[in-house]
Structure 1
Amino acid sequence: MPEWLDVVLRSFLFIAVLFLITKILGKKQLTELSFFEYVTGITIGSVAGEVIMGLDGSMWNGVISILIFGFVPFIVGMISLKSKKFRDYVEGKGTIFIKDGKVMEDNLKKERYTADELLELLRRKDVFQVADVEFAVLESTGDLSVLLKKENRPVTVKDLGLASPNEKESQTVIMDGLVLDEPLSTAGRNRRWLETELDKLNVSIENVYLAQVDTYGQLTVDLFDDKIKVASPQEKPLLLAMIKKCQADLELFSLATESEEVKKMYHHNALKIEKVKNKLTPYLKN
């Protein structure tokens, strides 16, 4: 067999073997690696490369070696799920770098981190002053988790005492000019509705690169031609305008009637709609 053909066959075989091992070990191997998984991954890659190009060696010995290096992390992972002590030993534990707003210098030295490196990690979290941080811990994966002081955290809807509706994920209903029926159905819409919405925007399906239905049922589109401007969704502003109109109509009816009882009724309901309007305005403004 020619050498080039032998290399091709070995390459395809090890691609299949490595793919299967990665599938068995799970997505964690592709994202956050512990020390053990990091060493194992490097070794598997080295063994695969050596066997693929080492034409004088046995290919099957390489396969056995890779299977062993894939099997051991799998077993370690299973044991780690059941034993915290074992998991802490194999995967490591987080190290506190900042506590109660103070830098833990001894922990920095223990992990061989300098002050400059700590500041760099904080900047990656969009934090530029150590004084803004209440707590920070270096995770076993090497990532820094940061808790800002109460006064430095972004204001949330809960902080303002406002009720917020639960949001659902947006559904992509058109991709590359093709309608995706399953996401469209998940969003509670159909093709007829989609065509109607696109007609309002003077856009054809073939010209749409990407279209999504958000949690409020509004359609947003991105066209192949970036020079063409598409109007923003108007459902929420129109709903807000209708609420304001209802309130104005009730106030008008209140002024037009001569009956005090009816006047009070109109005025009372106008006040109720005004309360609803005030609560919904932050959500209905584009």
Structure 2
Amino acid sequence: MPGWAEILTRSVVFLIVLFLITKALGKKQMSQLDIFQYITGIVIGGIIAIHVTDVTTNVMYGLLALAVWLVIPITIEFMQLKSKRFRNLIQGNGTVLIQNGKIMEDNLKKERYTTDDLLKELRNNNIFNARNVEFAVLEPTGKVNVLPKKENQPITPKILGASVAPEKEPQTVVMDGKALLEPLANASLNTNWLETELEKMNISIENVFLAQVDSDGQLTVDLYDDKLTVPVPTEKPLLLASMKKCQADLELFALATENQASKQLYQRNSERMQQAIDKITPYLQ
């Protein structure tokens, strides 16, 4: 076999093997690497590079070496699941860089972290003044995680004491002009509902690039033709407007009638409707 053909064949073979090894090692191997995962990636890359470019090497030896470096990481990860001490030995522990708002200079020196390095990592966490940090830790992966001081943390509805609507992940029900049955079922919907909603918008499913349904059942559509405008979902505003109109009508009826029993009935139901509006408004806005 000519040299170029052998290199081509080896490249294809080792590409397939590398793909299978990566799938076997799992998604963790593709995230931020700890020390052992870093070493594993380098060794596997080196083995493949040598046996792809050097036609004098034995392909079977390369495949055997890759098999060993598939078994070793899986064994190591299994042992990490069983032993916290072994996990600390392989992965290491996080190093506290800031604690109680105080920079830990000794820990910075231990990790060979300069002041510029620390400030850069704080900026990566959208913090530009070290005095705003309550706690910061250098993870074994090299990432710095930061906890801002309470007064510098983002305001949330919980802090404000406000109630918000529960929300689940949106379901993609149309992709590339085709309906996706499983996401529709996850949202407790079907193709008949989808066709009806698209008909309301005067849109055919073949013209839909992407369509998603939120947890409230509102359909959002993006078309292939960017020049066309799609109506904004109006179910929530219309429901809130209808409830406010009912409450206003009840007040009007209470003012219009001379019958005291009817007046009290209208006023009582108007107050109940207002209470319902106050409770549901955060969910409909």
TM-score range, shorter chain: over 0.9
* Structure 1 residue aligned with 2:226: 226
Structure 1 residues 97-140: Cα deviation after superposition (integer angstroms, max 9, x where no partner): 11111211211121112222222212222222222211111111
| One-letter amino acid of the counterpart of residue 277, structure 1 | I
* Structure 2 residue aligned with 1:165: 165
What are the ranges of 5 or more consecutive residues in structure 1 without an aligned counterpart?
A: none
Contact 2:48 2:62 in 1 (8 A): yes
Correspondence list, 1:1-286, <5 A: 1-285=1-285
Structure 1 residue 219: Cα displacement = 0.5
What are the ranges of 5 or more consecutive residues in structure 2 without an aligned counterpart?
A: none
Deviates more, 1:33-42 or 1:103-112: 103-112
Contact 2:165 2:283 in 1 (8 A): no
Structure 1 residue 17: Cα displacement = 2.1
SS state at 1:147 partner: strand
Output the CA distance in 1 between the equivalents of 2:119 and 2:216: 41
Give the CA RMSD over aligned residues: 1.5
| One-letter amino acid of the counterpart of residue 250, structure 2 | L
Structure 1 residue 195: Cα displacement = 2.2
% identity of equivalent residues: 53
Deviates more, 1:38-47 or 1:220-229: 220-229
Structure 1 residues 212-235: Cα deviation after superposition (integer angstroms, max 9, x where no partner): 000110010111122222221101
Contact 2:100 2:134 in 1 (8 A): yes
Output the CA distance in 2 between the equivalents of 1:271 and 1:132: 46
Output the CA distance in 1 between the equivalents of 2:111 and 2:284: 50
SS state at 1:145 partner: strand
| One-letter amino acid of the counterpart of residue 59, structure 1 | V
Output the CA distance in 1 between the equivalents of 2:68 and 2:250: 78
| One-letter amino acid of the counterpart of residue 201, structure 1 | M
Contact 2:163 2:282 in 1 (8 A): no
Output the CA distance in 1 between the equivalents of 2:193 and 2:148: 45
Output the CA distance in 2 between the equivalents of 1:172 and 1:216: 14
Structure 1 residue 12: Cα displacement = 2.2
Output the CA distance in 2 between the equivalents of 1:111 and 1:200: 62
Structure 1 residue 268: Cα displacement = 1.9
| One-letter amino acid of the counterpart of residue 115, structure 1 | T
Output the CA distance in 2 between the equivalents of 1:18 and 1:202: 49
| One-letter amino acid of the counterpart of residue 48, structure 2 | A
Structure 1 residues 12-48: Cα deviation after superposition (integer angstroms, max 9, x where no partner): 2212222222222211101121101101111110111
Structure 1 residue 80: Cα displacement = 0.7
Output the CA distance in 1 between the equivalents of 2:226 and 2:177: 14
| One-letter amino acid of the counterpart of residue 43, structure 1 | V
Deviates more, 1:184-193 or 1:168-177: 184-193
Count of paired positions: 285
| One-letter amino acid of the counterpart of residue 174, structure 1 | V
TM-score normalised by the chain length of structure 2? 0.94
| One-letter amino acid of the counterpart of residue 185, structure 1 | A
